[in-house]
Amino acid sequence: MTDRVDDQSLRGFLAMVQERFPEEFLRVSERVDSRLVPTAMVLELDRAGQSPVVMFDRLGDFDMPCVTNVAANRRLLAACLGVEPSALPTAFRDRSQNPIPCEVVERAAWDEVVLEGDALDLTKLPIPYQFTVDAAPYITAGQVTARDPLTGVDTTGFHRLMLKDKNRLGVSLHSRRRMYEYHRRAEERGESLPAAITIGVHPLHYMGSMTYAYGADVRKYEIIGALFGEPYRLARCGVGDLEAPAGAEMVIEGEILAGVHEPEGPFGEFTGYASYRSTQNVFVAHRLRMRRDAFFHSVTSGMSKDHILISCVTREGEILNALRRNLPNVTGVHVPHSTCGAFLAVIAMKKTAEGEPQMAAMAALATELYTKYVIVVDDDVDIFDLNDVFWAIATRVHAEKDIFFVPGAKGAIIDPSSDPKDFTLTKMGIDATRPSGREFAERLVVPDEARERARSILRGAGITL
């Protein structure tokens, strides 16, 4: 493997993949057009049911390598936590509840090359142009870090970053969570918000950065450390007393301007639509620090698994955590990639009384802003198989009593079905469990031994399952 810092880095993850899962690493050595082709390759892989990490040695006119599709594979994400893929949401939930204080190191891997003034030119980075609708190339794997001007607590998270000029990026804070509030508080003081953009971090950093159900005084870096099972190693930047992951590839230091708004977008969002909705903020870069042999990292946008899968896992864990407080009989949660990794949640439970599915659905809707449809099924249904889920809906639902609506609920700003003025919509819960207290039709089941024998025969006949 790599040195101690790199064990928590994207490089450490890539080394693990190449060593343990070489079939999940695809290197493209020929020069590839940075416009549209990388996105098309990843989406074609998705359609074929393949999710390898993809490393482009030469992208467009740039000689800096670019890696993508890092977070598209449940098997690889589970390996990061040392669990089976089916246990990924539970492992995330359990670890993230025990934050670990961070460790600040003297020197970061990204402090080898420093570019500022006339030498700073973000247009020289191999930033892919992903969809024809996109207003410009976008930095999609940039983790933006800033501190609360009131409390000093920092945060980190993904925000799309539109390339406008050599030192200017358009940024949308449309999730309206911590970063939006930090910028609002700075603006109230008439100040810009010091911020740093980290590029090239370990997938566990992604996962921890997407947690929301914890107190405002909990650092996301501490949750990321909990996922690693050890203190997350950080190093100080040169702006706003900020800290960034010591093993990252590069850090862009600057500020999100106060009182300045410029057109940003459209951008191909996770909804599968072009998003014109934006807070239209502006980030001005003052300095770029990077490794001497840095590579660029890009998240393939749109509905790619690279863009969506980690949000599926973190939402599964967050919802499961909320449900288990009052409904310990909930056995699992799945947020399907095919529903934009956000808008639908499927909950399995061992129902002990009528009304529990409705409680579970309401708790899920209250936990995750983006979720607008919840389906609750019995634990004999495979929540990771939508065919099984829809079979349960088709055979166990009485629409007039098992479906309920929550009109006027707050939805995601970039959900195209939400009201364009106040972003509200109607949310829905579906109880697809068997009725309790009376006999119900018996499900047909093939024993596991017979299924395995059948698989063995088919494999012997050369049929891949």
pLDDT digits (tens, 9 = 90+) for 163-200: 999 999 999 998 778 999 999 999 999 999 999 999 99
Which domains does the chain carry? Answer: 5-305 (2.30.110.10), 325-432 (3.40.1670.10)
Region 38-47: what's the mean pLDDT?
A: 93
Percent of the chain scoring above 90 in pLDDT: 83
Percent of the chain scoring above 70 in pLDDT: 98
Check residue 160 and give its pLDDT: 95
Q: Which residues face 3 on adjacent strands?
A: none
Check residue 213 and give its pLDDT: 58
Structure token pair of residue 334: 């799945």
Listing DSSP states for 304-334 in one string gives -HHHHHHHHHHHHHHHHHHHHTT-TTEEEEE
Structure token pair of residue 108: 């970061």
Q: What's the gap between Cα 461 and its chain centre?
A: 40
At residue 4 the predicted structure's pLDDT band, cuts being 50, 70 and 90, is: very low
CB–CB of 202/10 below 8 Å? yes
Residue whose structure tokens are 């799945």? 334
Check residue 384 and give its pLDDT: 93
Has residue 6 got a pLDDT over 60?
yes
Gap between the Cα atoms of 199 and 249, Å rounded: 6
Indicate whether this model's pTM tops 0.95.
Answer: no
154-166 burial, b for 16+ CB within 10 Å, e for fewer?
A: bbbbbbbbbbbee
Q: Average pLDDT over the chain, rounded to whole? A: 93
Has residue 275 got a pLDDT over 80?
yes
